[in-house]
Amino acid sequence: MMHAGITCVLASLLVVLVAASDSEPDCGGKPADVFFALDSSGSLSSEDFEKELRFTQNVASVFDLDDDKVRVGLITFSKTVTPHFGLGDYKNRGDLFRKISDITWEGYGTNTGEALNYLHTKGFAEKNTRPGIPHIAIILTDGNRRQMYHNHNRNTALHDA
């Protein structure tokens, strides 16, 4: 059974995506750097993790993948962060979806703080992103965390990235 936190996040994101596509027909085709961070911890079941993977594929299916359009990266986090691919590594949906399907559930602790730190210092590092292009992090988690991400300066830096 899916945890209420993930259900809420998934439902909220789905509503935002549907509202954007219905109310802003010209928003398609805009460039963006998008990083998915998926909770792969033991507080989720393997079935819930599979739902995260399918949701990620569904969201990514609306992106126009290319170096001058949308670039996608993905990490999972449990007791540590596991980078699976960086921004722009996949330009073909079929290859991207196969890679996402191959990701396995880890089932340990939930280190959300390390995931946020990775996105700030590596995923969205200046050398990996394009100037003037939105940086979007889509974080799927049940909300249970092992460590808090207390550093206000890092939170602010991640928000401003």
pLDDT score, position 154: 53
pLDDT of residue 149: 46
For residue 49, pLDDT over 50 is answered with yes
Distance of CA 39 to the CA centre of its chain: 9
- pLDDT value, residue 8: 42
What pLDDT sits at residue 142? 86
Q: What is the pLDDT of residues 110-148, one digit of tens each?
A: 899 999 999 999 999 999 999 999 999 999 998 776 544
Whether pLDDT at 104 is above 50 = yes
pLDDT score, position 11: 40
Closest by alpha carbon to 73, among 31, 114, 121, 36? 36
Handedness of CA 52, 53, 54, 59 (dihedral sign): positive
Which residues form the domain of 57?
Answer: 4-160
Per the CB < 8 A criterion, the answer to whether 86 and 99 are in contact is no
Number of domains in the chain: 1
Q: Which of 138, 114, 115 is nearest to 34 (CA)?
A: 138
d(CA 32, CA 63): 9
Q: Which tops the pLDDT comparison, 138 or 16?
A: 138
Q: What is the CATH number of the domain that holds 67?
A: 3.40.50.410
Q: Could you tell me the pLDDT band of residue 7, with boundaries at 50, 70 and 90?
A: very low
- Model confidence over 56-98: pLDDT tens digits? 999 999 999 999 999 999 999 999 999 999 999 999 999 999 9
8 Å CB contact between 160 and 124: no
pLDDT value at 103 more than 50: yes
In 3D, which of 20, 41, 19 has the Cα closest to residue 29? Answer: 20
Which whole number is the average pLDDT over 10-21?
42
